[in-house]
Amino acid sequence: MNDKNIDVSIVIPLFNEAESLPELSTWIDRVLAQENLSYEVILVDDGSKDRSWEVVKALCSKNRAYKGIRFRRNYGKSAALQKGFETASGRVIITMDADLQDSPDEIPDLYKMIVNEGYDLVSGWKQKRYDPISKTIPSKFFNWATRKMSGIHNLHDFNCGLKSYRAEVVKSIEVYGEMHRYIPVIAKWAGFNKITEKAVEHRARKYGSTKFGLERFINGFLDLLSITFVSRFGKRPMHLFGTLGTIMFMLGFVLAAYLGASKLWSVYHNEYARLITNRPSFYIALTSMIIGTQLFLAGFISELVGRNSNERNHYLIESKENC
């Protein structure tokens, strides 16, 4: 198969999913054969402890459309997706989970929405979920918070594993840490604004157990703060730190000036005046000026680091022509 003629690349991160992989691969093959699409399936084994890698090798030996990547240890879903994106060569890239909760029957429609309707990214929306309430309630809160902070108001489920992308999108972004939850946010801030969602079927888990605990919600919130900061101020950190530093320093300076002026006024009028150092507001003013100065220094250091970064003049160009 010529990689340049591949219609769709399916990237599947997996961790201890040996039982579900044979059924999943058969299902994918059947769906794509019916649609007459050329495809590749990239299985990224994220350090599984069961027989997952043996199953992956068996699938690759039977079908040349299958490719396997194995990590030496568990790095997380973001790392698996990033490596899959780097390997993918199709014109459309589709991601899905390996646990059979995502239906391969959704692949043709997701593919057509990219190719025929011109979207950059289509995110799945699990309207009816087969997850416990301990997972669905926090998920609703974080999806709401992500919509508010990112400005992407037309997505209900940012963390759905079933998504489709135009190839240029995944080749232009970097997914690390646990940022896979916010790929639509990363894509939007990279300039890909044609983002929509599609209601998809969500199935009850058939094999094994979930790999995510409650700590993912705390990590998810911290990742959202991190990506918001990096995306908005990554190339101009002084705009944030300098603004906050100016506000804090000026508040402290004005308060200190007021304390000094009130002391002089009392002395001038022969009135009793407490020592400035005995007034709690003096220490509030001093602390505020110190914090303001530290924020300024943080901004300067960030600018120095940014000037030495290889990404400082990296910009995505949509098109170019000679006039």
pLDDT in tens, 200-236: 988 777 776 665 555 666 666 777 777 677 667 767 7
Token pair listed for 2: 């010529």
* H runs (alpha helix) in 19-166: 21-35, 52-62, 77-87, 107-115, 133-150
Mean pLDDT over the full length of the chain: 85
Structure pTM? 0.73
* Cβ-based neighbours of 96, under 8 Å, separated by 6 or more: 10, 11, 12, 102, 104, 107, 161, 162
Please give the average per-residue pLDDT across 143-167, as a whole number. 86
Q: Could you read off the pLDDT of 233-263 as tens digits, one per residue?
A: 767 788 888 889 999 999 999 999 999 888 8
Residue 290 above 90 pLDDT? yes
- Higher pLDDT pick, 218 / 272: 272
- Model confidence over 68-78: pLDDT tens digits? 999 999 988 99
Residue 69 — φ and ψ, nearest 5°?
-130, 130
Are 85 and 170 spatial neighbours (Cβ–Cβ below 8 Å)? yes
Q: For residues 45 and 15, what is the distance between their CA atoms, to the nearest angstrom?
A: 6
